[in-house]
Amino acid sequence: MNHLNNPESDPKLPMEDLLKGSSGFVIPENYMEQVPDSIINQIRLDNKFDESQNELFKLPANYFEEFPNRILNKIESGQIPESLQQNPFKVPENYFNNTIQNILEKTSNSESKVVVKTNFKQVWSYAATACVLLVISWLGFRLYSDPKPVDYFSNITEDELLEYVSTYAVDFDQSSLASVINEEEINSLEIMDDDIDDETSDLLIQILE
């Protein structure tokens, strides 16, 4: 509370000693009268600065209209800068002659290893298909290579059959006939005598055929 009662202990602001007089804070003499003139002078200075900046970016009269002619005149007079006289797309000497050799050297030094992957699923499918084709081929070969049954009676005439039956008919009995004809046909045959008539011979020929 001592600093409230003691004014000398209060902190001082900058420039306070200059502005503070014996009667307190004062302003310079005729300050208010000079304020308008000071503002006007500052505005004039700002305008002059803007005008000087505009002069820097001001182009001469007919600049763009005369621009192509000025360039042509400089080219004809040889006043082109050295940087523009050089070809910007120039390649090193013997560049294209050594290109193939450089490519071959890089490719030979960096040989890539080829990894062969075996697709077992595809291999199994090929093997199964081959087995099926092999079985079908074997069955077809067996089917067409087996000999056809020979018909031994195709070359025997009817007269020869009649002669054979009449000659060896005595050797036929009911048990022998039962091996080639059924029971109903046996019952229909009434073989009572040793001699077989012509009707029985015809029936036997039909059965044997």
User: Given this model, what pLDDT does residue 177 score?
Assistant: 52
Greatest extent of the chain over all pairs of C-alpha atoms, in Å? 188
**Residues whose CB is less than 8 angstroms from the CB of residue 174 and which lie 6 or more positions away in sequence, other chains included:** 186, 191
pLDDT digits (tens, 9 = 90+) for 75-85: 777 766 666 66
Please state the three-class secondary structure of 7-44 as a single string: HHHCCCCCCHHHHEECCEECCCCCHHHHHHHHHHHHHH
What the block records as the tokens of 9 is 């202990």
User: Given this model, what pLDDT does residue 51 score?
Assistant: 61
154 vs 137: CA distance, rounded Å: 33
180 three-class SS: coil
**Closest residue by Cα to residue 41 from 49, 80, 27, 131:** 49
25 vs 15: CA distance, rounded Å: 11
Question: Rounded to 5 degrees, what angle do the CA atoms 128, 131, 135 make?
Answer: 145
User: Given this model, what pLDDT does residue 2 score?
Assistant: 46
200 vs 179: CA distance, rounded Å: 17
64 vs 91: CA distance, rounded Å: 36
66 three-class SS: helix
159 vs 165: CA distance, rounded Å: 10
Please state the three-class secondary structure of 122-163 as a single string: HHHHHHHHHHHHHHHHHHHHHHHHCCCCCCCCCCCCHHHHHH
pLDDT digits (tens, 9 = 90+) for 169-186: 555 555 555 555 555 555
pLDDT at 192 over 50: no
Indicate the pLDDT class of residue 167, thresholds 50, 70 and 90: low
